[in-house]
Amino acid sequence: EDKVVQSPLSLVVHEGDTVTLNCSYEVTNFRSLLWYKQEKKAPTFLFMLTSSGIEKKSGRLSSILDKKELFSILNITATQTGDSAVYLCAAPVSYYGGSQGNLIFGKGTKLSVKP
């Protein structure tokens, strides 16, 4: 059964700290892994990773994929209170033998950044 597992489930840090969020996966015919940030509304897209070892970076956020060990990490440096959110990891899977994938999501990591 395909699955995406995130850890930790929750994390409390102080502004300025650096955090690392983990995502491991078991997905048949793996193609890519995605990270989303969810505040009080819908998830917003952060990164899509398809190749091992190539870091994707956007400001203070960065992410990397390890296809051999089947995991990805999301790093946030110099955290700010605005980074407080649930961070979701997801991977496309194929339903009913179809070639077009839908996403399965991990449970998310709830990050709280204290001033």
Decide: 103 and 5 in contact? Cβ < 8 Å: no
The residue from 18, 45, 80, 81 that contacts other proteins (CB under 8 A) is 45
**Residue 108, interface with other proteins (CB under 8 A)?**
yes
**Distance from the Cα of residue 93 to its chain's centroid:** 16
**Residue 31, interface with other proteins (CB under 8 A)?**
yes
Decide: 46 and 7 in contact? Cβ < 8 Å: no
Would you say 17 or 67 has its CB closer to other proteins?
Answer: 67
x-or-dash string of contact with other proteins, 67-106, rule CB under 8 A: ---------------------x-x-x--xx--xxxxxxxx
Q: Which two tokens stand for residue 57?
A: 């970076």
What's the CA gap between 41 and 28, in Å, rounded? 30
What's the CA gap between 70 and 34, in Å, rounded? 13
The residue from 41, 58, 69, 82 that contacts other proteins (CB under 8 A) is 41
Q: Which residues bind other proteins (CB under 8 A)?
A: 31-32, 34, 41-45, 48, 88, 90, 92, 95-96, 99-108, 110
